[in-house]
Amino acid sequence: MTLYINTPLLRSQSNSVRLGKTVWLKMEGLQPSGSFKLRGISHACTWHMERGAKHFISSSGGNAGMAVAYCGRVLGLPVTVVVPESTSARARALIELEGASLVVHGKSWAEANAYAMSLLTEHTAFIHPFDDALLWEGHATLIDEVAQAGVRPGAVLLSVGGGGLLCGVLEGMTRNGWGDVPVVAVETEGAASYSASIAVGKPVSLPEITSIATSLGARSPCQQAVDWAKRHPIRSVVVSDAAAVAACLRLLDEHRVLVEPACGATLAALDHDISELNAAEDVLVVVCGGASSTVADLLAWQRT
């Protein structure tokens, strides 16, 4: 059973005309759970269920929890999601809407994660939000779909938080022969743990997350994401929260799709002077989605 959908690959006329190149949007926000997370998490949940798991436990800032909760409902297994206090009321409500048990614990995802791990028993499966090879294998199908559509871009643009999407996209690029295509990995100021990590060649832990893009709020990226930078061309880019919010609103105006600032960061990078994007005739943008933000949220952030 495949729980995720094959998402649309759109040629963005507005972005293509503005930038003088072809811009492709892979619309992952249209996944049933609201983000790309469903690809890898559905793969992991199915894998564990087939091996006897009776209950899924996850830690999440929002989108991963929504994906696990969705999978549990469809597969008929109970789900417990532990979120930190920083998780929005909307994200909490969406997780509970899927029928999951919600636990709020700790000020950061790291504290929520530690508590989630303490709940594990013989018959439960822990679904990590980003650091798991099963997730990366599932996320890689995103690139398979683009390749099957006959598109081979000159650069791939995506957001990076803990590194799960990045690892999956790179796995997909490798198996489709895109080893020479550069990846532009985007974060927001105040959540730029990946930029700090690849600068020194090992995972760096931020003292705190100060960005509004809380879905990028892993204080430290996974080791695999840092290791990829040593064997594939990856450019790290950091944008402001304001730029991310503005890009969300522009996507809403131009394509009638709502995403959260963690995804808007990627779209904002299109208008930055980045050599890898400048050199590419075609750019693939992973519109990763995110269901935690409302139009009212975006307008409030725009004002402040």
State whether 101 and 210 are in the same domain: no
Residue 228 lies in a domain: yes
Q: In the prediction, which pLDDT does 68 show?
A: 98
Residue 2 lies in a domain: no
> Which H/E stretch holds residue 262?
helix 261-269
State whether 115 and 190 are in the same domain: no
Residue 8 binned pLDDT confidence (cut-offs 50, 70, 90): very high
Q: Decide which of 73, 102, 129 is a domain's last residue.
A: 129
State whether 164 and 286 are in the same domain: yes
The CATH number for 173's domain is 3.40.50.1100
Beta pairing class for 282-287 and 101-104: unpaired
Residue 114 lies in a domain: yes
Residue closest to 56 by CA, chosen among 137, 129, 108: 129
Burial 210-223 (b: 16+ CB within 10 A, else e): ebbbbbbbbbbbbe
User: In total, how many domains does the chain have?
Assistant: 2
Tens of pLDDT, residue by residue over 108-122, are 888 999 999 999 999
The distance from CA 290 to its chain's CA centroid, rounded to whole angstroms, is: 8
Residue closest to 222 by CA, chosen among 245, 205, 203: 203
Residue 18 lies in a domain: yes
State whether 189 and 64 are in the same domain: no
Mean pLDDT confidence for 36-59:
97
Q: In the prediction, which pLDDT does 58 show?
A: 97
State whether 192 and 268 are in the same domain: yes
Q: Between 265 and 60, where is the model more confident?
A: 265
Residue 55 binned pLDDT confidence (cut-offs 50, 70, 90): very high
List, edge to edge, every strand of the sheet that includes 22-27.
Answer: 9-11, 22-27, 282-287, 155-159, 183-188, 234-239
State whether 66 and 102 are in the same domain: yes
Q: At what angle do helices 37-50 and 63-75 cross, to 10 degrees?
A: 40
Tens of pLDDT, residue by residue over 207-234, are 888 898 888 778 899 999 999 999 999 9
Rounded-to-integer distance, Cα 280 and Cα 129, Å: 31
CB 36 within 8 A of CB 165: yes
% of the chain residues with pLDDT over 90: 89
Residue 104 binned pLDDT confidence (cut-offs 50, 70, 90): very high
Q: In the prediction, which pLDDT does 301 show?
A: 95
> Which H/E stretch holds residue 170?
helix 164-175
Q: In the prediction, which pLDDT does 276 show?
A: 97
CB 116 within 8 A of CB 57: yes
Q: Find the distance separating the first CA and the last CA of the chain, reported in whole Å.
A: 45
Q: Which residues pair with 285 in a beta bridge?
A: 25, 157
Which residues form the domain of 108? Answer: 37-129
Rounded-to-integer distance, Cα 68 and Cα 82, Å: 11
State whether 31 and 49 are in the same domain: no
Residue 188 lies in a domain: yes
Residue 60 lies in a domain: yes
Q: Between 220 and 41, where is the model more confident?
A: 41
Q: Decide which of 129, 154, 187 is a domain's last residue.
A: 129
Residue 4 lies in a domain: no
Residue 190 binned pLDDT confidence (cut-offs 50, 70, 90): very high
CB 37 within 8 A of CB 267: no
State whether 125 and 167 are in the same domain: no
State whether 177 and 271 are in the same domain: yes
State whether 148 and 89 are in the same domain: no
State whether 251 and 124 are in the same domain: no
Residue 3 lies in a domain: no
- Residues with Cβ within 8 Å of residue 24, at least 6 apart in sequence: 9, 10, 11, 12, 146, 151, 153, 282, 283, 284, 285
Q: Decide which of 129, 158, 175 is a domain's last residue.
A: 129
State whether 202 and 84 are in the same domain: no
Tens of pLDDT, residue by residue over 120-149, are 999 999 999 999 999 999 999 999 999 999
Beta pairing class for 9-11 and 22-27: antiparallel
Which of 1-5, 37-41, 82-86 ranks highest by mean pLDDT?
Answer: 37-41
